[in-house]
């Protein structure tokens, strides 16, 4: 299984890099995990958007869905062979208005996932945990069925106890790390220290920091997370277009 980072900022794009969007590839199956701003331009460097197998959305905040509309237009209007007659977009139904927008004529079809049940998408098996966020959001734990390799993606979340069990022993923990350790005030995302502590307590094999802040020194963000995670867990800030093998 491969993880390609397409966009990694939280909230809004910055310096030519978009917001949350990731390509998960297993064999010839290509899953777009969230579809933030700039996702299509970034995806084109790896794969024609018409070759996606499916899209999975953690929640409907704009920084995770901004490019959905133009993805639907591309599947409607662009010439070329498509991987599927209609692109399936998997989303939760706790927000019916946004879920309804996932279907577009001759282009895409919205498919509901039940967060309480495993979801099989091609070679991947996905389970979910509801996160702590201002809108309904679900963190997917993605397992490549054939190898058992696992990517745990926190989606957007404040820290809560259930995260540790959910992330247990993951090969890669991809963590919403929107804040530096000294963040004050309300937080709907993890701090660097919380992400590192989660990695350490869950015994994950690698920690990748994403949903990044546009300010400050990202090396400091990584250092703070590394300190909390301990020396044995590799910690790094994700790099756009980098392919992580899981
Ligand atoms: Zn969010």
The domain spans of the chain are 2-245
Res 186: pLDDT? 83
User: Helix, strand or coil for residue 230?
Assistant: coil
Tell me if the pTM is above 0.95.
yes
Give the distance (Å) from ligand 1 centre to CA of residue 156: 5
Element (H, E) at 90: strand 87-91
Q: Please say whether the beta carbons of 87 and 49 come within 8 A.
A: no
Cβ atoms of 129 and 166 within 8 Å: the answer is: yes
Start-end of H helices in 53-191 = 62-65, 68-77, 96-100, 162-167
Predicted pLDDT of residue 40: 98
For residue 59, report the distance from its CA to the centre of ligand 1, in Å: 7
The CA dihedral of 206, 210, 216, 220, to the nearest 10 degrees, is 0
CATH number corresponding to 2-245: 3.60.15.10
**What is the distance in A from the centroid of ligand 1 to the CA of 208?**
18
Question: Which residues of the chain carry a pLDDT beneath 70?
Answer: none
Closest CA to 64 of 117, 135, 4: 135
Query: Contact 92/61 with Cβ under 8 angstroms?
Result: no
Q: How far is the CA of 92 from the centre of ligand 1 (A)?
A: 14
**Closest residue by Cα to residue 140 from 22, 36, 239:** 22
The 3-state DSSP composition of the chain as helix, strand, coil percent (nearest 5) reads 25, 30, 45
CA of residue 66 to ligand 1 center, whole Å: 12
d(CA 141, CA 31): 14
Report CA(133)–ligand 1 centroid distance (Å). Answer: 7
Asked whether the beta carbons of 94 and 63 are under 8 A apart, the reply is no
């Amino acid at each position: 299984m491969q993880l390609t980072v397409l966009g990694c900022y939280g909230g809004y794009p910055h310096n030519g890099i978009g917001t949350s969007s990731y390509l998960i590839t297993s064999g010839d199956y290509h899953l777009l995990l969230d579809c933030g701003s700039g996702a299509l331009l970034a995806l084109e460097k790896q794969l024609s958007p018409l070759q996606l197998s499916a899209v999975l959305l953690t929640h409907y905040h704009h920084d995770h869905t901004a490019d959905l509309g133009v993805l639907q237009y591309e599947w409607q209007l662009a010439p070329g062979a498509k991987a599927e007659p209609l692109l399936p977009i998997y989303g939760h139904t706790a927000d019916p208005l946004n879920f309804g927008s996932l279907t577009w004529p001759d282009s895409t079809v919205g498919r509901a996932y039940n967060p309480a049940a495993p979801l099989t998408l091609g070679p991947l098996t996905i389970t979910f945990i509801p996160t702590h966020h201002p809108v309904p959001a679900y963190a997917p734990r993605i397992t490549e069925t054939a190898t058992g390799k696992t990517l745990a993606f926190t989606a957007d979340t404040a820290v809560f106890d259930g995260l540790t069990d959910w992330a247990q022993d993951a090969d890669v923990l991809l963590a919403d790390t929107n804040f530096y350790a000294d963040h004050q005030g309300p937080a709907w995302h993890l701090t660097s220290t919380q992400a590192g502590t989660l990695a350490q307590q869950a015994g994950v094999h690698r920690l990748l920091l994403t949903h990044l802040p546009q300010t400050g020194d990202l090396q400091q963000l990584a250092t703070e997370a590394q300190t909390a995670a301990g020396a044995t867990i590799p910690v790094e800030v994700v790099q756009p277009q980098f392919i992580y093998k899981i």
